[in-house]
Amino acid sequence: MAELDSIGLLELSSVATGYLAQDAMLKAAPVELLLARTICSGKYIVVVGGDVAAATAAVDAGAALSTGALIERRVIPRVHPSVFPAISMAVDVPPESTTGALGVIETFSASSIVEVADAAAKTADVRLLRVHLAMALGGKGFVLLTGDVASVEAAVAAGCDVAADEGILVGRAVIARPRRELFREYT
């Protein structure tokens, strides 16, 4: 398989079409399936990773079968490596890394949160904890990140700029010296 450095996403209004698109995406190019599932409001999301060409080919193939059900398609090239485990919720957080700040960015779009998280991670020395795609959120997305206060503030600002440019920013927070309970599922 090619290098895993880019992400391709399809958000669809039909579960059945989602399965068709997912199959087409996996057959079209050497990509790794990162996430495929139903999301709120009866939609379906497919997220794949690979090199730029593979992610693009996969998204194109899935979109070609999604006539009438395609809500959003997105290819994010050269994604920061920390985004991949954060999507899979496979991030281990040592206790000492939870003492600075916690940052939260929330968007109206599930697929856009990946691009927001990527911008945040590329801007400052932060650890992405979670990139949450729409499950139990009414189709929204959010990212959680941690680091020292200045880095978290810079990362949240950069991510919010991306979301604001698309008109999809819902909310943001930077919490200095967060209580350890906020990290319960990561430590």
| Weakest mean pLDDT among 36-45, 58-67, 129-138 | 129-138
What mean pLDDT is predicted for residues 21-29? 97
Q: Does 62 share its domain with 117? A: no
3-state SS class at 53: helix
Task: Report yes or no on 1 lying in a domain.
Answer: no
Each residue's pLDDT tens digit, 150-172: 999 999 999 999 999 888 899 99
| Residue written as token pair 């949450």 | 132
Please provide the distance, in angstroms rounded to a whole number, between the alpha carbons at the two ends of the chain: 32
- Domain boundaries, position 58: 6-76
Task: Report yes or no on 65 lying in a domain.
Answer: yes
DSSP element (H, E) containing 123:
helix 112-123
The one-letter amino acid code at 173 reads: A
**Alpha-helix residue ranges (DSSP H) falling in 50-111:** 52-64, 83-87
Q: Does 69 share its domain with 13? A: yes
Question: How many domains does the chain contain in total?
Answer: 2
Q: Does 31 share its domain with 90? A: no
Chain-centre distance for alpha carbon 102: 17
pLDDT of residue 187: 46
Q: Does 17 share its domain with 88? A: no
Q: What is the pTM of this model?
A: 0.82
Domain end (from 31, 61, 76): 76
Q: How many residues does the structure list for the chain?
A: 187
List the CATH number of the domain containing 64.
3.30.70.1710
Each residue's pLDDT tens digit, 50-85: 999 999 999 999 999 998 999 989 999 999 988 887
Burial grade of 109 (CB within 10 A; 0-12, 13-18, 19 or more):
buried
Inform me whether the pLDDT recorded for 98 exceeds 80.
Answer: no
